[in-house]
A and B are shown apart, each in its own frame.
Chain A
């Protein structure tokens, strides 16, 4: 037992010192700008060595604290490097003339004022809000009706539920191209047959926007339906029975019992559709890539008729190579989403208090 403890201590010290030595060696190589390819491996093995050493070090006094640190470190480190540091840097860069690599001067609020002078950006904001509102209503309505259908007496219920959910499994890019095909080749055949006019919905801004909404509902309603089904299943059967004995018709049961009982579910679904519609990117990129002409908006001709906010940010920074402006737009996007989330927390808490 004693030998074991001594052995463990030795092993742990070996790991720690070995790890420290490797990390120091790696850092020296880094700082001296050596191009030794193994320096990265040194660093990683060194850090793992230190963590393992700390972890097996057999003193009771600090063991718990050390273990807490070792347990938290991997995820927290990744989180800091990928989310927190870029967020702080991003907000900082939005006040400079950053070009994706470095910046040479502070420009204050110039990026923020510049973006509101771009009619194309204003258009994107308004379009996104319109998209979000229309989607929120349509997706929830369709999903709720589907959920009512799927909680009623129905043969093949499992099959219907699964098939309505199926589109949600497919990534937005692939799905966007599949629907591009449908709008360009299949829907045109239908318009030819009906109006003798080969008309592609994607060729005009207004109809292309409707096309995006159709695809989005197709993708998303099945998922929201599942949540509504769960909500509807929590409505106790006795209450429904009592109401039917009291002679309530199905409509009364729906509006006076079911909908009030699933109010928390409605809140969840509303905000889920809200935030996901705001962040919509993949379908927008694959289906229309933001194209579409607008003859006259704020006195200028626009070519980004169906470009929503997320895509506008991407195009500004990556395609048009204007990183600082793109980052400023992204910060605005973040503020809008934060407001939505705070509103959600506020409404949910208020509901809970009432209950």
Chain B
């Protein structure tokens, strides 16, 4: 009796889980099938498969990729360059800063810096974005490097905004590395910077993976900062900004809009399929520590 009840409840749970999964995945299905249709077919039946053809998908994608408001490859390249550069700088400089803070944790200045970083995590982007643009415009004019509408400027901004969380998570990890290790290396004649780059940095690999995933998800999908700094119709556009500009120019041509959405989400889904475990674990750790 008891056993039978258990089997039936397992079946029930499976049915419920499947129904929820269908609901959660349904929008993705709609994006895929409607990218393969013409506008008329979508209006006639947005859920069914009639009108779906591979040639239509290719023609929609080609139209979207070549659209002057979207320029998929340019936007994709900008997004990739901005994300990768920001992540590399955040990992390298974040590790360096975190290590210095950790090893001076008895000194006042290090603690002031540390707590400023932590306290700054509550600052919403909205309160700094307007003066940020003004400051960057002035600084750019003064030093002769355009900080707005340029890749270096936005990478710099991401280093500033991502710095607090990165340092916070990294110091939490570095605290746990035994100090004996560094003392031994120091006796063997290692200089402090050699200790950092040869001993500490390789040990940071797992936590840098976490930080990179958290920052990567944020930077890749971020809309407000690039839209403010790069402008809607600027020279450089990231993917979210390009999607927004594209949709603004195409009123209700849903096959185009959904093809653009498809192009924007495919890279992320490919990465997720490759590194599913790391991404989910990284997100959990970030939440629990942050």
Contacts and interface: CB of A to CB of B under 8 A. Distances in A.
B240 A333 contact: no
Interface string A261-286: 00000001100100000110110011
A30 B157 CA distance: 22
Contacts of B176: none
A83 B94 contact: no
Interface string B124-148: 1111111111110101001111000
A75 B162 CA distance: 9
Nearest to B122: A341
B284 A313 contact: no
A322 B272 CA distance: 41
Nearest to A27: B143
Taking each of B17, B117, B261, which has the highest tally of chain A beta carbons within 10 Å of its own beta carbon? B17
Contacts of A168: 283
Contacts of B173: none
A154 B20 CA distance: 14
Taking each of A30, A173, A313, which has the highest tally of chain B beta carbons within 10 Å of its own beta carbon? A173
Contacts of A186: 30, 46-47
Contact of B191 (A63, A83, A85, A178): A63
B273 to A, nearest CB: 9
A182 B27 contact: yes
- Range of interface residues on chain A? 35 or more
Contacts of B10: 153-155
B192 interface: yes
A101 interface: yes
- By secondary structure, the A interface counts as helix
A83 B161 contact: yes
Nearest to B264: A174
Contact of B143 (A30, A35, A79, A326): A30
Interface stretch (B58-66, B70-78, B204-212, B221-229): B221-229
Given A67-B192, A87-B128, A227 B163 contact: no
Given A72-B100, A282-B224, A330-B129, 20 more contacts: A26-B143, A44-B145, A63-B192, A74-B89, A84-B116, A100-B133, A100-B134, A149-B16, A156-B14, A163-B25, A164-B20, A165-B280, A169-B269, A177-B243, A178-B258, A181-B254, A182-B27, A227-B287, A286-B247, A310-B124
12 contacts: A76-B163, A83-B128, A149-B13, A149-B20, A156-B14, A169-B279, A185-B254, A218-B27, A282-B240, A317-B130, A327-B127, A327-B130
